[in-house]
Amino acid sequence: MTAPTARRFTPVFVATITATSIETKVSGTGADYLICTDAEFLREGQAPQSRTVMAFGHSVEKVRDLLSSGQPVELAVQFDGGTIKALGAPRPKQKAATCAANDDGDSYLAERLA
């Protein structure tokens, strides 16, 4: 029997997402999920990137209400492989941690505070 693989830690951070298209799809289990292909992903202090942004579970309704095509919005997100997993609106503590990480370069501490 094989031991289960440990999940790797992925910190939550704040990023600006500009969606070009927003689609709601249904998974094989019947749950809704949201997908934005080729969305502009901008993290403070870094160059903009084109990424796929997705939301699952309870986050679908939160993110759907915030996103609109062509309008930039700040979201709490995580990296999920090559895609970005959107969680919803950032909490004040997450915003402060993101700003602190960009101001003094101490991202390790900022990630632990998020």
Assess whether pLDDT exceeds 70 at residue 109. Answer: no
pTM of the model: 0.73
Residue 67: DSSP 8-state:
-
- Looking at residue 103, what is its pLDDT? 54
Between 1 and 28, whose confidence is greater?
A: 28
On whether the CB atoms of residues 108 and 39 are closer than 8 A, the answer is no
pLDDT of res. 82: 87
Q: How far is the C-alpha of 19 from the C-alpha of 21, rounded, in Å?
A: 6
pLDDT digit string (tens) for 7-62? 778 899 999 999 999 999 999 999 999 999 999 999 988 999 999 999 999 999 99
Q: How far is CA 17 from CA 9, 31, 35, 99, in A?
A: 22, 23, 12, 17
